[in-house]
A and B are shown apart, each in its own frame.
Chain A
Amino acid sequence: MNIQKLNVCMDILKKDLGEGFVASCILTTEDGQVLVATDQANIAEATLLNDATALIRNALKTYPAELGQYYYIDVAGNMAILVIPFGDYQWTITVNKKLVKLGLLLNVVLPAIINAFEDAVVS
């Protein structure tokens, strides 16, 4: 894990999302400890989503299917949460869905930040 590259990931994210960026947090999946978080990050929420990911993986086993690169949760009001589980880490990103179109988020921003995240994790 390269912390500097992890911070670069956050910078890319903020730049790409602009005003649509709300908060972000990267934690370890094993113990739910936060590695990097922005000011507005909701740590409790990010930790709960760590548990949610485990539930999703278990639910998918019954299909059977496996979780891919991300999942997206719509939240009532203006927010939405994008979760990127990767190996021993999980990146949670909260966006203002009124300012970030879903297509832009999933097709443009996501591929860019996933590459940067993978690079930071394996470094």
Chain B
Amino acid sequence: MKKDFKLIIDNEGLENQSATDAGGRDELQRWPLFGLSVGSFLQVIAMERQTCMMEVYLDADHWGHFCFVEGDLYDAVSGAMSGEKAAMEMISWENVRLNIKQILNTTGLTRKIDKNLMLLLMESTRLRDEGGDDENQPDPEVAEDSEDREVVADHADSEKLSACLNIMVKDMGDALTAVSIVDVGKGKVLASYHTAPETAEAFSGLTNFLQSAFRENTQAVLGDHLILDLKNQQTLVLLLFGEQQWCIVFDNVKCTLGLLRNVVMPKVIRTFNEMK
């Protein structure tokens, strides 16, 4: 899926820019970058392990910033909101202008966002989709079989999930052993690759067990991922975001955990986010 980005840096071409409804030229010069989505830019900063502040401008009433320390998202501020709430708000903005500022001293910075950026982006997409459900009444279940892939979801999600599976299959090649995407709340398998429904359901059951066991017996709350070392050089990564659970099994010699977490999954999420 190709998308033509128009990226303007250092204020070139501001005279002809009409993509924002911002006020005057001075105002635009404060945010010289545009053409990329907030999510895409956040992923670039995270992948480059930058320590910086990314300022985001939607309009005179909606602007804020993200703080990164060595690629980790530490905080976000937008109006009266801060932390994860502000981050989710700004990620949902479209047609924004951006600016990057270096952070020279991080000693006073307090980390307010614990969630992995990747999962914040997926959660944002999920919320956006849920918001759009009223306009697009879900079709009856659509099943799309293509060789080993199987996608069973409403029409809006099926294309996204299918595209995501395609990317994983292409990028990971024969390192990818199996994938399943499950709606944990409904106990429904949304998409799968080389995974039997009973396997996907078994891991959905495991997540439910851990979530309720943690909630009822300890003060801890289950986070957003599990990593299982398997025999025969396999690794299983279980990602949780909202009601969805992604279960990915791969050969950890052919594809490292770092490659999956830092290269493949961001690409998958970017695709998931960019598809309308």
Contacts and interface: CB of A to CB of B under 8 A. Distances in A.
Interface of A: 42, 44-45, 48, 51-52, 55-56, 58-60, 62-63, 65-80, 98, 103, 106
A63 B249 contact: yes
The range of chain B's interface size is 35 or more
B206 A59 contact: yes
Interface stretch (B41-49, B96-104, B230-238): B230-238
A62 B221 contact: no
B217 A76 contact: no
Contact of B218 (A44, A66, A69, A106): A44
5 contacts: A48-B218, A73-B222, A76-B114, A76-B222, A98-B111
Given A59-B205, A62-B196, 11 more contacts: A42-B218, A44-B217, A52-B206, A52-B209, A56-B228, A60-B236, A63-B196, A65-B234, A71-B228, A75-B214, A77-B114
Contact of A78 (B114, B209, B230): B114
A78 B115 CA distance: 10
Given A59-B203, A65-B234, A74-B226, A52 B210 contact: yes
A51 B212 CA distance: 13
B220 A79 contact: yes
Nearest to B231: A66
Given A45-B218, A58-B202, A62-B199, A73 B114 contact: no
Contacts of A56: 206, 228
Contact of A75 (B196, B205, B222, B229): B222
A103 B223 contact: no
A34 to B, nearest CB: 15
Nearest to A58: B202
Contacts of B198: 62
Interface of B: 111, 114, 178, 195-196, 198-199, 202-203, 205-206, 209-210, 213-214, 217-218, 220-232, 234, 236, 249, 257-258
A74 B196 contact: no
B173 to A, nearest CB: 19
Given A55-B206, A65-B249, A67-B230, A103 B258 contact: yes
Q: Is the interface of A mostly helix, strand, loop or mixed?
A: mixed
A78 to B, nearest CB: 7
Contacts of A106: 227, 257
Given A45-B218, A48-B218, A75 B213 contact: no
Contacts of B218: 42, 44-45, 48
Given A71-B229, A72-B227, A73-B226, A45 B206 contact: no
B113 to A, nearest CB: 11
B221 A75 contact: yes
A55 B202 CA distance: 8
Nearest to B218: A45
B221 A63 contact: no
Contacts of B111: 98
Contacts of B227: 71-72, 106
B202 A59 contact: yes
B249 A76 contact: no
A63 B222 contact: no
The 10 closest A-B pairs by CB, nearest first: A74-B223, A68-B229, A59-B202, A76-B221, A62-B199, A72-B227, A66-B231, A71-B228, A48-B213, A74-B225
A55 B111 CA distance: 34
B230 A65 contact: yes
A67 B257 contact: no
B211 to A, nearest CB: 11
B205 A67 contact: no
A117 to B, nearest CB: 14
Contact of B223 (A60, A70, A71, A80): A80
